[in-house]
Amino acid sequence: MNATFTRLTEGFKQWLGILGYEASTVKSLPRSVNHFFEHMQAYEIGRLSDIAQNHIQSWYEGQKPRKSKLTGELLKNSTLNGINRTMRLFSRYLEETGQGVLTIDIPSEDKEPPHREILTREEVQQLYNATDETILGLRDRAILSIYYGCGIRCKEGIFLAISDI
């Protein structure tokens, strides 16, 4: 990457740290900006002032058919909105530090309704019936009762303490 884009990316990283963002955020957000700059350089754009709105839009449209490295599926709208927020934050960084203007005028993607698979009464009964009268079976039945009786999520159940019950 050229020296200007590298300097801007590093400056953005430091700025995020100064503002008190989490270490993981300070590490990940500049990577998105890096990908953006790599795309610009592929089109022989080497200066911030040469980036036009159509370049930004073209780059963003190229994100939509991209697949997640984690799941192998297309990026979700929430991920695309995160990329959009990152670029808007980078734009704010540029303006606040007097390094230029990069107008990010990309509309947010629609929120996806959460996918919930709701078990039928028969399916829940099958879960209970799968437990036996051993100590582990009783433990499993108690866990099922807490999860379904309280309607808690998986992560909430993992971090549940005895004092919470």
Q: Where are the domains of the chain?
A: 3-96, 121-164
Q: Please compute, for residue 135, the number of CA atoms within 13 A of its CA located in the half-sphere on the CB side.
A: 0
In the chain, the amino acid numbered 12 is F
Give, in order, the Cα–Cα distances in Å from 117 to each of 96, 114, 120, 123, 139: 45, 10, 10, 12, 24
CB 9 within 8 A of CB 86: no
3-state secondary structure of 24: helix
- How do the pLDDT tens digits run along the chain, 165 residues long? 899 999 999 999 999 999 999 999 999 999 999 999 999 999 899 999 999 999 999 999 999 999 888 889 899 999 999 999 999 999 999 999 999 999 999 999 998 887 788 889 999 899 899 999 999 999 999 989 988 888 888 889 888 888 887
User: Which residues are CB-contacts of 25 (< 8 A; sequence separation ≥ 6)?
Assistant: 16
Prediction pTM value: 0.69
State the alpha helices, DSSP H only, in 43-120: 53-63, 77-96
Cα distances (angstroms) measured from residue 113 to each of 96, 107, 116, 159:
35, 18, 9, 26
Q: Residue 12 and residue 87: Cα distance in Å, rounded?
A: 11
DSSP 67: B
Helices first, then strands: H and E counts in the chain: 7, 0
Residue 34 and residue 71 in contact, taking contact as beta carbons nearer than 8 Å: no
Note the Cα 14 to chain centre separation in Å.
Answer: 21
Q: And the tokens for 9?
A: 């990316």
> In this structure, what token pair is assigned to residue 41?
């350089």
